[in-house]
């Protein structure tokens, strides 16, 4: 039996994705003095949609099936509307680096929801990873500064992580029938609809905002949404799910570095320790899945039967995050 050469790991696209997603957290802090959380969400989604319209014109966005409209709408409202509103609200009193550490717990919530609604079984190692990661998230949340506003902000970001995880679960079956571009386009479209009444206020704030604040909002739509999606897609096309998941671990590192460089702030050491626990827990849970897939691959490779083309596989919310920040 001949073995196929291993594909080169796309380090460039992985690093670019981590930096782009990580840059969202300090960008939000830069935009907040000039814009409310709702206005940032409206303008970010609007910018992303404007940039994705050419994909619709070029035929890269297919027609949404009627049977999938409700699920796609729920994905947009949870993953675009609720997630962004909660995250931006939380970052009013929580530094970007700390917010990134808390959001990293999102795959933990995704796994818990998968157990509850998709009948997934994480196994003993998966449960151990979840417990470690949740302990880390709690440690980050309770050591963010001590003020009531900061604690409320941390709670909002944890809710944002849970909301993002819910959107992963809703999106998972859709990825069998729609591409990432189509999910991003329709999710943004449905996510913008409930916020349309806020559009006049967002435009009014844009008229009086400083250049830095407006540039940060445009960056969120252009770089952190559309461009990051492109680099993430390149990563998924050329790397395995386990390798691609390394991007998730790089996001808080990039956010911490950019927060320090642009805003000259760093989380408390205990918050960083909590973030390390979160990443450790996710690594433990993801390792179990990777080991299972390797075992399955060996079994298929040793089978004398003629292999059949694999069916479309739903994206794993732990090892293949659909979106971030």
pTM above 0.85, yes or no: no
Give percent above pLDDT 70 in the chain.
Answer: 76
- What are 81-92's pLDDT values in tens digits? 999 999 999 999
Indicate the pLDDT class of residue 243, thresholds 50, 70 and 90. low
Q: What is the mean pLDDT of residues 221-242?
A: 80
Calpha distance 206→308 (Å, rounded): 55
Q: Which residue has the higher pLDDT, 314 or 127?
A: 127
Q: Are 151 and 271 in contact (CB under 8 A)?
A: no
Highest mean pLDDT among 12-21, 39-48, 267-276: 39-48
- The whole-number pLDDT of residue 2 equals 46
- The whole-number pLDDT of residue 92 equals 92
- What are 97-111's pLDDT values in tens digits? 888 888 877 767 766
- The whole-number pLDDT of residue 6 equals 52
Calpha distance 101→300 (Å, rounded): 38
Indicate the pLDDT class of residue 293, thresholds 50, 70 and 90. very low
Q: What is the mean pLDDT of residues 63-72?
A: 95
- The whole-number pLDDT of residue 311 equals 46
Q: Are 19 and 256 in contact (CB under 8 A)?
A: no
Of residues 291, 266, 297, the one with CA closest to residue 143: 266
Q: Are 96 and 26 in contact (CB under 8 A)?
A: yes
Helices 180-192 and 37-57 pack at an angle, to 10 degrees, of: 140
Calpha distance 26→66 (Å, rounded): 39
Calpha distance 140→267 (Å, rounded): 9
Q: What is the mean pLDDT of residues 281-301?
A: 55
Q: Are 308 and 233 in contact (CB under 8 A)?
A: no
114-142 burial: b if 16+ Cβ within 10 Å, else e: beeeeebebeebbbebbebbbebbbbbbe
DSSP state at residue 6: P
Indicate the pLDDT class of residue 238, thresholds 50, 70 and 90. confident
Token couple for 150 = 């900061």
Indicate the pLDDT class of residue 153, thresholds 50, 70 and 90. confident
**pLDDT(229) > 90:** no
**pLDDT(18) > 90:** no
Q: Give, in order, the Cα–Cα distances in Å from 105 to each of 12, 101, 248, 286.
A: 25, 7, 10, 13
């Amino acid at each position: 039996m001949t073995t196929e050469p291993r594909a080169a790991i796309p380090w460039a696209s992985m690093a670019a994705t981590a930096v782009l997603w990580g840059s969202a957290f300090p960008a939000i802090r830069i935009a907040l003095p000039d814009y409310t959380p709702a206005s940032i969400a409206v303008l970010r989604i609007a910018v992303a949609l404007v940039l994705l319209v050419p994909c619709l014109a070029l035929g890269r966005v297919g027609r949404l099936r009627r049977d999938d409209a409700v699920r796609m709408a729920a994905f947009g409202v949870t993953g675009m509307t609720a997630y962004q509103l909660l995250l931006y609200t939380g970052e009013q009193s929580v530094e970007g680096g700390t917010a990134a550490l808390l959001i990293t717990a999102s795959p933990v919530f995704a796994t818990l929801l998968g157990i509850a609604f998709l009948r997934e079984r994480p196994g003993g190692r998966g449960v151990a990873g979840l417990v470690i990661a949740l302990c880390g998230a709690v440690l980050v949340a309770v050591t963010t500064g001590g003020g009531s506003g900061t604690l409320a902000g941390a709670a909002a970001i944890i809710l944002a992580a849970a909301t993002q995880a819910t959107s992963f679960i809703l999106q998972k079956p859709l990825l069998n029938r729609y591409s990432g571009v189509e999910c991003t386009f329709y999710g943004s479209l449905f996510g913008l609809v409930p916020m349309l009444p806020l559009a006049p206020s967002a435009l009014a704030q844009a008229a009086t905002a400083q250049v830095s604040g407006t540039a940060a909002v445009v960056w969120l739509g252009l770089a952190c949404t559309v461009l990051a999606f492109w680099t993430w897609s390149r990563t998924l096309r050329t790397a395995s799910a386990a390798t691609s998941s390394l991007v998730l671990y790089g996001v808080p590192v990039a956010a911490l570095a950019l927060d320090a460089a642009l805003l000259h702030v760093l989380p408390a050491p205990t918050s960083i320790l909590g973030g390390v626990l979160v990443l450790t827990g996710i690594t433990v849970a993801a390792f179990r899945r990777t080991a299972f897939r390797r075992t399955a691959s060996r079994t298929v490779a040793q089978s004398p039967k003629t292999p059949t083309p694999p069916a479309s596989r739903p994206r794993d919310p732990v090892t293949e995050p659909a979106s971030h920040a």
